[in-house]
Every structure is written in structure tokens, then in C-alpha cells.
Structure 1
């Protein structure tokens, strides 16, 4: 929701809050509850038998509200990141409530108005928030029928809902506000719901046009960057030139004399300027950069040394799988594989630098932010500013998507601090490109090692896997996870890094193969401290883990002299849905396809994201130019099973986007750094896939499962696409490359 949409509604919303007790029930958690937050930032479970995120927020009116005039509002704690989530969630609720999508008012990610659903991450949004809305809306629909039936003195089964009205058998009708009159929706959801039969669906399973697109393509106020509030000041921050550097001097008086400058803030090593115009703020920031003196800083390792360093840092060794017999000391010759894979640090590289707006007014701090977790961020900002939790409100407002943790939370902290320095004035803060690149949390560098053996029948007999990775989850909940908190004269320390437990996992996400393995060991060497700041990036460790698993499957298939797809199917006999997806992708691609020309290759990759979410199989054809080192991706064929498909076009968009993003990571992307600091400050020093490198053809086949649970799909293509690329490049070149990116130049 844009600022233009949010602000005029505030009086009405406050009136709504005065009329009920809903908000107190699910926003003001006791201190002990915050300590129980898991890696997804979720509050404690209230009823484990409820579906989706109703488990944590069981009140119906936290999700569905019906106004006296019949207007229906759908609420979700999840954030629209450009994935089409808002459209899918509205479809789900409107389906049960017999409404058109454009007749539904949607509120997403607001600590005053929506349930606490932690972070929008891990492909959980439709699976968890969508499931909660599916059941909540079905139960509210039943209450609407019952309310109308009671007023008409007819059986509830005789009442139908259509287009916002309840209809009686004799033709009488009343709008939803009248039907629900006298019925309190502030009640716990039931454990079973009167869901519509999938055969009756009008909206779920259909490609409904995206609700968030019109403002984006017509120049409307669509993003937090577009916000303009009365009396708003523009701010820019000055970050240290390298992590650990300390500010020793700065001529603040000279900056205060510059045109339009309203305030200059220094708190320890924290520096910022506020001006009445954005360009004046940028000019003042550049001037202040030139007048600031820094000393010290934390040296970084050379990129060529980082993987050896990771394997020697203090680690928490976590065995996540051990079954059967250990790997023999001597691997059978001709029937075994041993390989080591590496991945460099990767940047989110959001096309638009992060931005936030904050306003301290009458002791209430409101922050408009494109964070992926308004509730955890709210807790961190309250700690950062010293304000009471109930006096801080975070409203998700779209920004440049990043699918993980980029600079959005940090710049929200900047906006909060600077709004507190200038009470009564909205303050807009936007990072510069080099600030975003230098200070965002990167996706961790990683190492994986695998040893595997075949039995006499050509089936996998032993599997031994180890990985080394730093944290993939340093999202705020504690103020010390935010860069500005480190720079203050009284800095706030981050809470210690903790591994994310299975089955979700962090660095070990998808480290457990779905294949049948009679003897297996998998160990996660979690590194609490690593050289660079890291946090979540789309798919977390699944990217390199699936590459490692799937390229090893190709190597084993070659030793067994079996087609790679058939080899996978042999080891998936216990997973019929996985087999369906593998077969569908192979059929779509017309696998196997012989090499058409020299330097051409085909490859295959498969994975079920987290072994919990969507199944995805991908086949790729590419051409490699040995003179230039350039790869052209000629064709991609993908099949996916994400359970009940809500919006087929939205699912295809997510798969296509994941395929393209994974191609960029896998072939090109790596952070450039060294002892002097981060060198990737712009697009020339951090290359990403360009339009000329996008696959020439992408085909998607969806295996819809009407009535089955929603399975998150947004991150499911990353690993299979990377694996298919690696296998295709190996066939094209005759050389296995086990370092990501595959076309490394550093």
C-alpha cells in the first residue's frame, strides 16, 4: 500500500481500533514471547491444530473484517515484494467469500492492523498465510450465511453468497454488513472449515491480473521511494569507508552552513544530514564525506583464501542425518565420487537502493519501510530508539525487491533515528548505490564436500556430505542486527548468530537429498563468526547444496552407465510426486537430446525446496563460446508441483524469475573484496546477468493438485536451475567446474 493510500485512512483505522479489542490481542506480545521467536520471526503457537498461521493468530477478525456497509477487508502480515502475493492472497479469500478480487480491500504488513506473521521469506507466504486466509474466509462465509439465515428464519444451507450479498431462496438479499450484524468475528477459528469444493472454484487456479501492477506501470505512487508527505525532510547518511572504521573528526559547522541544510547529526561514528530538498541532501552528504576523517577498520581475507579459512574457523558441528553404515575408508574404484564445491559471497544487488520514511509525531513513531518483517523490525526499532513497543508502528510499503535481507532494515533504522532527531517532520532516507553495496548483508560464501559410492547394481550405497557456512539469518529482532546501531557512541551489540534448525535449515537447507540413500551422513559445520556480514538470500544454502547433490547424481549416473534422468527416477521410487515432476520436465524438454554441435550441452536438475515445499525439475540447453567464455542459454524447460495452484500466471512468473536470477548467480555473480575492503560498489564491479544473457526460451509446465495444500514456489527454482546449468556446461566443455560462479573471473 502506498503512502497516498495509507495516510488518509488513519482516522478511520483509529476509530476501528477504538471500537474493538482485536489489536491488543495480537500485537502487544509479552517480553517472554519475543524470546521464543524462531528463525522466521513467528510468535509462539497458540493452537497447533489450526491450519497455516492461524496456529499463531487464531482470531478470525485478525484476517477477515466486515464493515457495517458490507466492505470486506483481508489482512495478512506478509509483504508484497513484487511476487504477486497480494493478488494470490486476495484470490484465496475472495474465492471462499464469493467476491470479486477488486471488491476486496487488502492490508499487508502493518503492526497496527495485521496479524504477526514474522518474515516474508522461505516460500511460506501462500503456504502459511494463504492457508490461514483460506480457512478464515471459509469460516467467515459460514457465519455470513448463518447470520442472514437467522434474520430470515430459514436454514443456513438455504442461503447463498454472491458478489457481497447473502441471497435467500425467495429472492431476498442483504449485503454482508447486514448479514454479519450481531455476530462478533473476534473469535477463535475452528479446527475444521466448510471449504468450497475445488471443482467449484472460480478464482483459485485462474490467472487473475495482478492488483499491484497498475500504479507501477502508470507512474502512480507505488513504492516507498515515491512517498511525499507534508513538511517532509530529505536525509542522507555517511557510512564509514569500511566495517570497523571509527570516525575521528568531521567539520559539522561547515555542513550546517550549506543551502537547505536543516540539521546535521553525529552520534559516535554515525553521521547524517537533513535538508529541505533531496538534491541538497545529496550535496551536503558528499561534502560531509570529504570532511570526515576515519581510522581503523577490519581487514578482509583475499577471495582466493576465504574457503580454506571457512574450513578452519571455529564451528558448531551439527549432524543432521546419520543412518546405516559409515562410508568405507577406501572408496570402491570406478564406483565412487569425491568432490569439493565452493561458492563466493553474493550480493542482493537490488536495482533500487533502499529507502524508508519515518515520522515522530506526538510520541508515536511511524516507519514506512520495505522490510520483509514489520513486527521483528518494530521490536528492533523500539530497542534502538529507546521507545516503548506500543509507540512504534511499522507499515510495509513496497520497495525494490531483494528476496532476502538487503539494506531495507538498515535504512529504516536510519529513518527512525533521524525522525527522532527532528520530531514533527517526516524524514525520508535513501541510500546511495555504493552504500547499499558496501553495507548490505551478503549471501554467505560456502564450502561443500561430498563422497558417494555405488553398489554392484549401480544404485547409491553410501553418501557422505559436509558443508561449511556462516549465518543465513541475521534479520532484525534485536537492534544490534542493524548497521546504525553499531555506529552510535553507545553501540548495541547483535545477538549471537544461531543455526536455523532443520527441516527449514539455513546453510544446510536442502542438504538432505530426497533420493533413497541406505547409508548416509550429513554434517553442517555452522560458523558463528565469519569475515563478512551475511544474512538471508533467496533459497539460502539450497542453491549450492542442490548444485552439489545434482551434479554428483550426474557423475554417479555416468559411472553406472545410466541416463541421468533415469538414474534419478530409480532413486525416487518412494516419492511419486517427485517422479511426476522429473518425468514432466524431461518430456517437455524431449529428453534425452543428443549434443547438436560442439560446445553445446544439456543438463538436468531437480529438488523439492526444503523437502517441504514445491517440487521443481529443470532441463537446460546451452552453448559455450571457448574464445570469449560466454554462455548462451538456449532453452529451459521446467516442471513444478506446488500443490493447489492459486494463480498460474503468478507461479510461472516466480519460476521464470527464479530461473533467470539463478542463472545470474550461478554463471556470473560474486562479490569483489580484499584486504582493503569491498570493491563491488557499482554495476561494473558487480556484474549481473543482462538482457542479452536471459534464456532464449523458457517453458513451464505446472502440475496442479486441486484441493491439496499450497506449497511455496518462490525460491524453488534456484537450486535446480543452477544444477542444470552446471551439468549442461560440463557436457558442453568436457570439464567439471565446482566453484561458483561457474564463469568466475576473479
Structure 2
């Protein structure tokens, strides 16, 4: 994102809404050269974040989207604490290109760091400015005012509301770098668990997701995909499909084939008929029958050294190992969906994209129309962390809306669309070698990781699936690696341990077997799995306890604290190994800059059946200041469960022509019988410290702790994921 002035379109919308924008004569004092926190640096106007309405209600705006991570609740808590207003009295608007700040993507565990920090700062400044205006209005010192939600009261009982204090004009205030310190005795809305605002409707079966939206006179679209990315359309007879009952339009543009019908089931039947009417040539170009590591290593790569510390060649015993991760899916429980309306020269899109502003730019290029003529409104989707089919289905919807203007067009992907066509999580290979000195300390470290792109999200039309199937296709823009310290394939490839001599190389592969992009945690899942599995292998070689071995190589006191806390809560030193059971441990600081997470867990392994299950897990987390304790626990618990599913079950399978894992039978995910009996999350709260992203902190440590526990339980070191039943039964035969 880049800094920009207020967008005229959003200002016009605010003015039309009948609310009052903030107008103050008393600017806050800024420190010279002070930096604005989070996304406030990109959108520094206070009324972009906080607005007081004519009805005295306060509206909070964020460019971040609710993905099920509870960010709506947490951001309301942040704003409520700074404004000193009950969060139930606030209105929150999320991710709308006509109304909210442009905060790019909701990704990388950045919501609290970016939007939370911006909202806290903006809300505190707004409250301070209002308090100064109230003091001037009531002719009393500002410090003497009492506040009850959006009303200030003087000692003599006179009162003035927020709504009365704002001016009815277009003047707005630029944020400054300083905010007043918190006042003792203020109501506490942050740092406590409040009920999630997004949960009640979901529990009651109310409209909760974009998949649930129904509009008057809405029509339904279905898109027919080619059998494989390289399939060539030889011909299609659309006449019979066009005559089917309820079919309103058959759309063909190159390989992009779709139907529009007056009812959803009629659209489904018409799409099936269209599939029978289409003839394809499907070349056998996929590398079926080869082991994954050789497939990945054979892809052209661009090596880049991301760490070079010390000098190689320290004397000692050197150990080596390789680890792999397969192609994996987001496997959203609700297939992707979008609704688009083309009316009076403007497009409105309801989408569960995680980046409504970048999506708008891509759609504008696709449609050859100005961005100002497109509005993208975020609506929650039924399950995703990362770049699934949400953006692609939005492109489907706008193409069909252009072909059938005047009515909202709903496009719902089918399960085979989602599993077959979403961008996959890249397959990866990690090679690691380390040298131990005579005392068992790591004196040399060398790490290489091979990976396709983890970032091909929209921003350009060529990032949208439908755009690549048109008669005049848009070429996908050349992918680029995400630079450190964020990283993509090399996210968390730099170990967080204090190693005197270390080198890390990323072998970025811009072109690969499939279209790939961001799945939750990106490369951190594989890299932490590899690094923390190898740390256990090194500890065994050094004849050291795995936890003590990690502590020996850690220098950050906060990292040391979470490692000790997880081990203590698990009862690491008192653990008694049972039949078919073992313990495992792993630690990482997500991106080496976000939340610290250490996990100790126990597994149950039956090699004869291949069954592996986490029995219990204890996680310790330090994410800086905690806004919602239960929200943090939910993210870590969910991360452990999702990582267990990836690690034990999930992989994309394909033959020489096409993807085979198009349903839940072919791509199973974790079932209740494999879920842990208990996951306990222990929080280290650090009030006043910066927010540290939490949503992706558990995936890597959970995978490595699981693999380490399997080794402890049955003596089998698994370096290639997933640890599914077929793989584990193979170990039983070997042993």
C-alpha cells in the first residue's frame, strides 16, 4: 500500500449518509518526526477510522475482514477502550471499498498490528479532541469532565454529547504521532473476554455468510471449468442448454463457459448439461508417478541467500536431513461464492475476498472499466485462511453480471470447483545440515528450501482464474518472492536460535506444477516443521533433553519464557511414557517478529493400523498485549487442529492429466475421532507492548511437535508429510 489522500468517492458516501464528520480547531501536539502506528501511516485522517453521527452514534471503520478469527470483536474492544464507550454502542464497518480505509489484504496475522494499532491511536485522539471541545463548550478544565459513553459531564451536572461537539462540514483532522496516556479508572473493555459479535447469528442459522445472501430477483450462475488447466476446448453446442427450462443465458468467451438461470438447481442442471455438450483435449502433462521431492527439486529455481552469518566449516559431527510438504488445499467447508450486480454503469460485488481493494483493481482491469465504477463489499465466507477461490468466483460473478445486467447474479462454486481450481498451498522441500561440537552445541547450520510462490493474490486481472480462460486471456503476472522479514517460501526459514554460523537459502520457483498461493502460515508451516523436527534430531544426537537443548540455544527472554511455560504446564519433566504414546515439543516465533508459541503434546500411535492422534496439547503464547484472551485461545486451538489435519491427512493427488482429490473422500480432513481430547492454551500477557500477530503462530510448532511425539512413541522419524495411515503402515512393515 502507499500513502494517499482521502478518496473522493468515500467522502461523498459519508456526506450522503447524513452523519457529521469531525471538525476540530485544537490539533494534537505531534512529536517531530514521529511515526504513525499501523495502517494509520497510510490513511492518516481520523475520520477514515472514527466517525460521530448526527444521532450521537459512533462508527468505527477498518479495512480488515472478519474471517472467523474474531477480529470484529477485538477491534471493537480496542476502539471502545480508547473512546471509553461500551463496545455494544459502537458500529463497526469492515472492508468496503466505498467506506473503509484501504488496508490491503487481511493476511499474515497483521490485523491487530495494522488495524488494531491504527484504531487505538485514532480513537484516543478523537476522544481527546472531543474532550477539549467539551471543556471549551462547558468552560471547565478538561480534567474535571466525567464521561459516560458518548456524553461528557461537568462537575455541576451540565452535559454535552459527542454528536453536539462535531461540526457539520467536510473538514477533517490529520492524526499526529502522540496520544494522551490512559486515564486510571476508565472502564476496561480491552484485555478481557467479551462475547464474539459474529457468533450469535451463526449459531441461530441467520444470515452469516456470503453463501447465505439472497436478494430480490436474484439469478444464479454456474461456471463450467476445463478438465485440467492445460485442457483445450475443441467445441461446445450451447443450443440445447439455452432451451432448458429456467435458463436465461449461456455465456461463452474462449474456455470460459457458464450458464445463468432463474433458480439455483436449474443452474446446476444446466451446467451439467453444458459439460456433456463440451468436447475437450486433455494433454497428459502432470508429473504423475514421481516422488514429490524429485518433482519439486526439478523445477527451475532462483536461489537467494536470506541469511549469511559467520563462517562455514566449524569442526564437529554433522547431521543432515530432508523434509517435504505436499500440495495442500484450503479445503473451505463452504465452496466459494460471490454476488455481482451491474446496474447504471456500476458494479457492486459482495465477496469474501481477503483483499477487497486489490480485488477491485483486478476486476477493473478484467472489465476494462475504472476502479471508481466498482464497489467490493466484504461478506464473511464459510471457511478460509489464505487465498482460496473467493477472488476467482468474484471474477466469475462480474463477468456474468456484465452479460446479464440489471439483476444480481449469484455464483456458487461446487465442491469439485473448489478442490480442483483454488490456488494450492505449494509443495516444498527443505534440506538442513548442522554441526555439533563436542559439548553438544550447534556450531554450524545450513538450510535450503525449495518452493513455488505463496503470493499470487489479485491486484492484476491475470491473477483471476476466469481471466486466464477468456478468448483473449490475461497472462498471470510473473510471481515474485515475498522479501524478508515477512518471507513466503522462506517464512520462518531463518531459525530463531542463537547460532554463531548459519546460512539460509531460498530457491524460489516462479513456475511450477499448479497455480499456488497463500495457505495459512505460508512457508512457515513447512519450515518450522523441518527446523523443529531437526532440533529434536540434534538433541537426540547430543543426548540432550529436547526442551533443554532448545533453551540452550535461545537468547530471547520472551522465547525462553514461553518454552518453559509450555513444558511446565504439560508436565514435561514428570512425563511417563505409556504404551503407544509419546511426547513431543516445538517452538517458533511466527515470522521471527510476531507471536511466540511453544507447544508440548502427547500422541497415540498404532502403526499396525496407521492411526495417529494427538491426545492432549499444552501451548504457551506471547502475543504482546492481549485484547481478547478467548480470541487468542481460539486461534491457537484452531491452529493446532488445522495443523493436525494438514500433518496427518491432507495432500493433493493427481495423475498425468488432472487433479484427483475433488471431494472429501479423495481429500479427507481431520474428523472428530482424531481430534485431541484437550488443548490448553496458556497466555503471557504484556500490557503496553505492541500487538503481535497470533492467527498463524501455532501451525508450524504443532506439526513439528506431532512429528517429534510420533518419534518418541514408536521410534519412527517421519520427514515427509502427511503422516497418513498408508505412510504409517509402511513404517510398520519396515520395522
TM-score of Structure 1 vs Structure 2, range by shorter chain: over 0.9
Change (3 A) 1:629 1:601: same
Which residue of 2 is the match for residue 467 of structure 1?
A: 449
Distance (Å, rounded) in 2 between the aligned partners of 1:570 and 1:183: 62
Which residue of 1 is the match for residue 338 of structure 2?
A: 356
Which residue of 1 is the match for residue 469 of structure 2?
A: 487
CA contact (8 A) 1:198 1:706 kept: no
- CA shift digits 1:594-634 (9 cap, x unpaired): 44323211000100000111000000101101221101211
CA contact (8 A) 1:471 1:498 kept: yes
Which residue of 1 is the match for residue 30 of structure 2?
A: none
- CA shift digits 1:77-127 (9 cap, x unpaired): 000001110000000001111111111111000000000000000000011
User: Does structure 1 residue 164 correspond to structure 2 residue 142?
Assistant: no
- CA shift digits 1:526-578 (9 cap, x unpaired): 00101111000000111111111111111111222221111111111x20000
CA contact (8 A) 1:472 1:540 kept: yes
CA contact (8 A) 1:595 1:602 kept: no
CA contact (8 A) 1:61 1:185 kept: no
CA contact (8 A) 2:14 2:99 kept: no
Secondary structure of the residue aligned to 2:189 is coil
Q: Which moved more, 1:153-162 or 1:316-325?
A: 153-162
User: 175, 189, 197: which is aligned to 2:175?
Assistant: 189
Which residue of 2 is the match for residue 112 of structure 1?
A: 98
User: 522, 528, 552: which is aligned to 2:504?
Assistant: 522
- CA shift digits 1:155-203 (9 cap, x unpaired): 2222232212112222222221112336977221111111426885611
Q: Please show how residues 60-459 of structure 1 align to structure 2 within 5 Å.
A: 60-181=46-167, 186-196=172-182, 200=186, 202-297=188-283, 299-302=285-288, 304-327=290-313, 332=316, 335-459=317-441
User: Does structure 1 residue 737 correspond to structure 2 residue 718?
Assistant: yes
User: Does structure 1 residue 724 correspond to structure 2 residue 705?
Assistant: yes
- CA shift digits 1:359-392 (9 cap, x unpaired): 0111110000000000000000001111111001
Distance (Å, rounded) in 1 between the aligned partners of 2:374 and 2:253: 22
Secondary structure of the residue aligned to 1:308 is helix
User: 688, 702, 705: which is aligned to 1:707?
Assistant: 688
Change (3 A) 1:13 1:184: closer
Which residue of 2 is the match for residue 646 of structure 1?
A: 627
Which residue of 1 is the match for residue 488 of structure 2?
A: 506
Distance (Å, rounded) in 1 between the aligned partners of 2:120 and 2:170: 19
Which residue of 2 is the match for residue 660 of structure 1?
A: 641
User: Does structure 1 residue 580 correspond to structure 2 residue 566?
Assistant: no
Change (3 A) 1:142 1:55: same
CA contact (8 A) 2:20 2:167 kept: no
Distance (Å, rounded) in 1 between the aligned partners of 2:169 and 2:139: 16
List alignment gaps of at least 5 residues for structure 2: 1-9, 23-32, 728-735
Normalised by the length of structure 1, the TM-score is 0.92
CA contact (8 A) 2:227 2:282 kept: no
Aligned-residue offset at 1:17: 6.7
CA contact (8 A) 2:306 2:504 kept: yes
Which residue of 1 is the match for residue 584 of structure 2?
A: 603
Secondary structure of the residue aligned to 2:665 is coil
Distance (Å, rounded) in 2 between the aligned partners of 1:115 and 1:21: 15
Which residue of 2 is the match for residue 543 of structure 1?
A: 525
CA contact (8 A) 1:643 1:709 kept: yes
Which residue of 2 is the match for residue 673 of structure 1?
A: 654
Aligned-residue offset at 1:658: 0.3
Aligned-residue offset at 1:130: 0.3
Distance (Å, rounded) in 2 between the aligned partners of 1:110 and 1:744: 45
Change (3 A) 1:201 1:559: farther
Secondary structure of the residue aligned to 1:555 is helix
User: Does structure 1 residue 635 correspond to structure 2 residue 616?
Assistant: yes
CA contact (8 A) 2:130 2:162 kept: yes
CA contact (8 A) 1:558 1:564 kept: yes
Secondary structure of the residue aligned to 1:592 is helix
User: 492, 496, 515: which is aligned to 2:478?
Assistant: 496
Q: Which moved more, 1:250-259 or 1:178-187?
A: 178-187
Q: Which moved more, 1:200-209 or 1:405-414?
A: 200-209
Secondary structure of the residue aligned to 1:372 is coil
CA contact (8 A) 1:336 1:556 kept: no
Secondary structure of the residue aligned to 1:538 is coil
Change (3 A) 1:200 1:518: farther
User: 666, 669, 674: which is aligned to 1:693?
Assistant: 674
CA contact (8 A) 1:165 1:175 kept: yes
Distance (Å, rounded) in 2 between the aligned partners of 1:135 and 1:263: 51
Aligned-residue offset at 1:411: 0.3
CA contact (8 A) 1:378 1:393 kept: yes
Change (3 A) 1:561 1:197: farther
Change (3 A) 1:612 1:605: same
Secondary structure of the residue aligned to 1:740 is coil
Secondary structure of the residue aligned to 2:432 is strand
Secondary structure of the residue aligned to 1:673 is coil
Change (3 A) 1:185 1:196: farther
Which residue of 1 is the match for residue 16 of structure 2?
A: 16
User: 535, 542, 552: which is aligned to 2:534?
Assistant: 552
Aligned-residue offset at 1:15: 4.4
Change (3 A) 1:321 1:121: same
CA contact (8 A) 1:147 1:183 kept: no
CA contact (8 A) 1:666 1:722 kept: yes
